[in-house]
Structure 1
Amino acid sequence: MQLTAGNKVALVACSNGLPVDQQPEVQRLMQVLRGMGLCPVCSDYLYAGPTAFAGTAAQRAAALQQAYADSQIRAIFDISGGDMANQLLDLLDYRQIAASPKPFFGYSDLTVLLNALYTKTGAVSYLYQVKNLIWQSSAQQQPAFVASMFSGADDLFRVKWHFLRGERMSGTLLGGNLRCLLKLAGTPYIPDLTGKLLFIESLGGGVPQMVTYLSQLRQLGVFKHISGLLLGTFTYMQQHRQQPSMHQLVLQETQGCTFPIAYTSQVGHANTSRCLPIGGPYTVQLP
């Protein structure tokens, strides 16, 4: 995937609508993208009204569908998050999306869409919040974004991993935010994780919530089928120094399993976060 100067890119909000007071932030993001030579085009449904919705589910789905249908749009950046992206899953025309593939970027609640796109089309999407370009770590994010998106470098994708178990894993990478990924359980949009690498991270939730989520993964049979587990940041747990740690919980929950487990502090909800290719090939190994 590579962008060039003059390309149009779409800004959409498939999950919760943005507060209206974030309009200056979006304008700043558009300025940065224009400074890189891109031409950002905004969905009509970015901002929440009196409720949390930026338009109906059908309107938000249509805006995303139009971004895929427009041949001049070369990439789609979702700038929302929250809880409601799964409203769109059964309203999208996946055949049309597959016929006009283009990179889709989102994080957090957009985990549901990243993984559904893989399930329904085989597309590679990207776990990344483009607003990182204007947040606190913008001085590091902007050059990494430019190098990766325009020159094909791996700056934005380069992640340092450490192993809890094993020393190498390779396969198709799936997952994202743990709570949001589990919304797909029992739906036609959850990907087949057999032989895959699963990445998980979380913004909120303490030990009880993580135990619940890990137990659900085990009960779904996930730990019987994946070939590797990758852990990002677990912000609430780490900020509050909760015990047992997420690493300890994972090792407890996967006792008897042999798949490798690795972790990083470079992917999650922080504005320093790197980008992961959801649905793409991925390899992690000791140096």
Structure 2
Amino acid sequence: MMEKNYMAAIAACSNGLPAGKRQELQRLDKLLEQNNISVRMSRYLYEKSDGISGSGREKAEELMDFFENPGIRCIFDVSGGDMANEVLGYLDYQKIRESQAVFWGYSDLTVLLNAVYAKTGKESVLYQVRNLLYDDGPIRQKEFFGWIKEKKEALFLLNGNFVQGDHLEGTVIGGNIRCFLKLAGTPYFPDFNDKILFLEARSGQVPQMTTFFSQLQQTGAFDKIKGLILGTFTQMEAASKNIVPLALRYVKEDLPVFWTLEAGHGTDSRAVIIGGHAVTVSESRIMTKN
């Protein structure tokens, strides 16, 4: 059951939000408070100019304050964009490892989710908490608060199908493919050996995805992983293009590949635990667990 005095933080480690998002975050704050989650807001949520809300060091120090606060259980990053990797060099990964707080974010926060796992082995959650406010909000609210309050796992259950193989199991890395590849060649790029790689994208058509999959192939990723999960590829799907045939060009014929439309940039997206354990539930369902 959920602890009393449950505290969460709202952060923005990537691009600052436009000022027009203030009312939305006030609604999110109210929703969390109504569910007995007290909220601390970052000082660097809103852009001052050119998407910048603060320096990389300032945002990192704010984030570390949240990780070091013994009362904070979850840190929900509500941003996205391009600039999250500027905080990575200013973080204290030993203190993050020791913290009870779990980081949640999506899109550009892929860099932070995977850096935390690579440097600490700690789990984080690929999820945008602002989804609770949108069209599918009531459904996601039930799943989200079911997890927060009672550890019910529906938020992490992904429906889809195996397009190759019929079973996968292992530790999950990855996220947004463009942002994930920003870590290549850095100390924050996770080890691919025996991992399950999850990939999704918001922007980009076939040429861009060809570039990204080619780069992953050139890192040796597809020779090392033991499973691939494909989420939504929003702009490709809007153009009636399917990521599956493209992806299968790059992987071995015996590599399990699971395709789901329930994880990615959609406001109806469910969550994936980066550093968590993926398990096969059935031929049409997988789940990530901590």
* Both proteins in one fold, TM over 0.5: yes
The answer (yes or no) to whether the contact 1:175–1:181 under 8 Å persists in 2 is yes
Matched, 1:252 2:276: no
How far off is 1:35 after superposition?
Answer: 0.7
Partner of 2:272: 276
SS where residue 169 of structure 2 aligns? strand
Partner of 1:36: 35
SS where residue 8 of structure 2 aligns? strand
Identity over aligned pairs, percent: 42
Partner of 1:57: 56
Counterparts in 2 of 1:252 and 1:119: CA distance versus 1, 3 Å: same
SS where residue 159 of structure 2 aligns? coil
Q: Deviations over 1:175-200 (max 9, x none)?
A: 10000000000000000010000000
Q: Deviations over 1:159-184 (max 9, x none)?
A: 11301100001000111000000000
Amino acid at match of 2:220: G
1:262 to 258, 272, 277: 258
Q: Deviations over 1:242-287 (max 9, x none)?
A: 3xx3101011222x44211010010010111001110011112526
User: Map of 1:105-254 to 2, 5 A cutoff?
Assistant: 105-242=104-241, 245-254=242-251
The answer (yes or no) to whether the contact 1:223–1:257 under 8 Å persists in 2 is no
Q: Which runs of 5+ in 1 are unaligned?
A: none
Runs of 4+ in 1 over 6 A off after TM superposition: none
Partner of 1:19: 18
Partner of 1:68: 67
Amino acid at match of 1:9: A
How far apart in 2 are the matches of 1:93 and 1:72?
Answer: 18
How far apart in 2 are the matches of 1:211 and 1:5?
Answer: 49
Structure 1 vs Structure 2 CA RMSD: 1.1
How far off is 1:154 after superposition?
Answer: 0.9
Structure 1 length-normalised TM:
0.96
Q: Which runs of 5+ in 2 are unaligned?
A: 285-290
The answer (yes or no) to whether the contact 1:166–1:259 under 8 Å persists in 2 is yes
SS where residue 236 of structure 2 aligns? helix
SS where residue 156 of structure 1 aligns? helix
Partner of 2:288: none
Q: Deviations over 1:70-123 (max 9, x none)?
A: 111111000000000000111101011112232110000000000000001100
Structure 2 length-normalised TM:
0.95
Partner of 2:287: none
SS where residue 253 of structure 1 aligns? coil
Instruction: Answer with 80-89 or 140-149: which moved more.
Output: 140-149
